């Protein structure tokens, strides 16, 4: 469990780097979606360990990751011009 945030961070940074290559933008988008789901899962597990209700922690982590993903894709679209 200790290596999971590092691995997710590496995959997220790799997908963000690949997003700026036009031919790999669709692949990077898929990898970024998978890493965001990983972050949501990790956040739900950590919230549950802190004593928050399982359903509430899943809901909170999902809402936060969807919001973060939407903002991230908006920023990437503005930066890349697509």
- Token output for 76: 């990437």
- Token output for 78: 């503005």
Provide the domain limits for residue 44.
4-80
CA neighbor of 60 nearest in space, from 70, 73, 72, 46: 46
Number of structural domains (the chain) is: 1
Q: Dump pLDDT digits (tens) for 22-80.
A: 899 999 999 999 999 999 999 999 999 999 999 999 999 999 999 999 999 999 999 98
Separation CA 38–CA 4 (nearest Å): 9
pLDDT at 59: 94
Separation CA 10–CA 81 (nearest Å): 25
Separation CA 66–CA 40 (nearest Å): 9
Separation CA 28–CA 18 (nearest Å): 5
E-only strand ranges, 2-82: none
pLDDT at 3: 87
């Amino acid at each position: 469990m200790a290596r999971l945030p590092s691995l997710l961070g590496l995959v997220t940074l790799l997908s963000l780097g690949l997003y700026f290559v036009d031919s790999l933008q669709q692949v990077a988008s898929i990898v970024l979606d998978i890493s965001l789901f990983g972050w949501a899962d990790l956040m739900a597990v950590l919230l549950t360990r802190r004593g928050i209700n399982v359903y509430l922690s899943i809901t909170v982590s999902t809402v936060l990751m969807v919001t973060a993903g939407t903002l991230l894709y908006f920023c990437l679209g503005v930066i890349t011009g697509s």
